[in-house]
Amino acid sequence: MPSPALIYMDNHATTRTDPRVVEAMLPYFSEEYGNAGSVSHHFGDVARTAVEVATASLAFNIGADPQEIVFTSGATESNNLAIRGVADRNQRRGRHLVSVRTEHRAVLGPLERLGPRDFDVTLLGVEQQHSLDGKASPRAGWLDPEKIAEAIREDTFLVSVMLANNEIGVIQPIAEIAAVCRHRGVLLHCDATQAVGKIPVNVRDLGIDLMSFSAHKIYGPKGIGALFVRQGNPVVRFTPQITGGGQQEGRRSGTLNVPGIVGFAKALELCEAEMPTEQARLAELRNRLFAGFQQNLRGVELCGPDLSSAADHPLRLPGNLNVAFGDVDGEALLLEMENLAVSSGATCSSHEPGPSHVLLALGMSEDLARSSLRFGLGRFNTAAEGDAAVETVSTAVKKLRKMG
Ligand code: PMP
């Protein structure tokens, strides 16, 4: 018997590179293969021009200037460059940083490395999954900007808050947080890896000083990302973390990934052009999935914020759904559903043993966190796949509950 078609719903982990992106990249492998740093011949000129055009496009699409873009290998490196780079350079102001318990490991990791170096890190809590009366909170996972204001001290030099969460899709009030930081003279870094290309992101409107983002989350290639570093007053100072040939004004050395940069820019252009229709389509598909689970199964709980928040001020990424099924183990569920690619709150990544730190930060019990699945819906998911996923999950949950 042929196995049922595979359904990919793990678009927060990574996305399929859009064929239109691949097409834009192709000439820069075997035809226009010059080094953008070669100033003495045609090959270098062509590569440099491609990088300039792509950089201008990327910058435009996030409301930045081209000189404010530093290319990296991805958002992990961008976060490291922002946090470690600013920490290495801004010690005169103090040694205190503020961030949030629900940040991605790519932010928490560099912060942890600062601890033993005599930096002091405050990690803030977020709105809990359940209010005191046991009801699910419509803003679960949300960070109150007031908390930032309370946490900033005389010696605070950096605040790092993500724009959209990779597990529960919650969108943080970055403009309000940025206003607090600016008022107190503290730099704001934002990990916008899950937000760019999915919701409107304009660094000037938001008031961000440094922002990380990555191509492979937006139907671009893996291995290319960027850090936006605001120019102008007050100056954002940071120490480069990768030194060598002095590329990118010494801010990040290494030969530029020309095909990657071209693909990154094309990927963001496509996301921007398709955003209004895609946001509505994904939110509808996502809501249909959740309604299907509720109809077929008892004890289904939405993890994270409401699905129904106002379209002009959404609290959650349109393609994100995180559901606790209760009385089942997410890992066992994954094994039961061979044709469905999603991820489980039991292990938020294969590198992190135990239940997801994000779900635990919401105050969820380990058992409830372990019973959750994360659905990351994306460009290539269809309504038919949504219906098939509801069937697959419902059948698997029922089977495991019977066995349990
Ligand atoms: N930050 C967030 C919020 C992410 O979701 C991810 C990817 N899971 C990263 C950072 C790391 O991005 P990259 O894979 O480009 O290093």
Q: Taking the complete model, does pTM exceed 0.95, yes or no?
A: yes
**Nearest Cα residue to atom 12 of ligand 1:** 75
Q: Half-sphere exposure of residue 364, counting CA atoms within 13 Å on the CB side? A: 32
**Nearest Cα residue to atom 16 of ligand 1:** 76
What is the CA angle 262-265-266, rounded to 5? 85
**Can you tell me which residue has the tokens 């509801």?**
390
Q: Could you tell which of 168, 214, 268 is best to mutate to test the pocket of ligand 1, judged by most ligand atoms within 8 Å of the CB?
A: 214
Pairing status of strand 343-344 against strand 372-376? antiparallel
Q: Could you tell which of 76, 218, 347 is best to mutate to test the pocket of ligand 1, judged by most ligand atoms within 8 Å of the CB?
A: 76
What is the separation, in whole angstroms, between the first and last Cα of the chain? 29
CB 107 within 8 A of CB 191: yes
Residue closest to 343 by CA, chosen among 167, 147, 220:
167
CA 208 / ligand 1 centre spacing (Å): 18
One-letter amino acid for residue 350 of the chain: S
* b (16+ CB within 10 A) / e for 65-89: beebbbbbbbbbbbbbbbbbbbbee
Ligand 1 pocket, CB under 6 A: 74-76, 104, 106, 162, 166, 191, 193-194, 214, 225
Q: At a CB cut-off of 8 Å and minimum separation 6, what does 212 contact?
A: 75, 78, 79, 82, 106, 189, 190, 191, 192, 193, 225, 226, 227, 228
Which residues on adjacent β-strands are paired with residue 212? 191, 227
pLDDT in tens, 288-318: 999 999 999 999 999 999 997 555 667 999 9
CA 319 / ligand 1 centre spacing (Å): 16
pLDDT in tens, 34-89: 999 999 999 999 999 999 999 999 999 999 999 999 999 999 999 999 999 999 99
Alpha carbon 348 to its chain's center: 14
CA 399 / ligand 1 centre spacing (Å): 34
* b (16+ CB within 10 A) / e for 156-165: bbbbbbbbbb
**Can you tell me which residue has the tokens 């699409």?**
61
CA 43 / ligand 1 centre spacing (Å): 33
Question: Does residue 190 carry a catalytic annotation?
Answer: no
Residue closest to 28 by CA, chosen among 3, 61, 52, 51:
51
- Predicted confidence at residue 117, as pLDDT, reads 86
41, two tokens: 């011949």
CA 402 / ligand 1 centre spacing (Å): 37
- Predicted confidence at residue 314, as pLDDT, reads 79
CB 317 within 8 A of CB 171: yes
CB 322 within 8 A of CB 286: no
What does the alpha-carbon distance between residue 362 and residue 99 come to, in Å, rounded to a whole number?
16
240, two tokens: 């480069």
Q: Which of 181, 190, 303, 348 is catalytic?
A: 348
**Nearest Cα residue to atom 7 of ligand 1:** 13
* Low pLDDT (below 50) residues in the chain: none
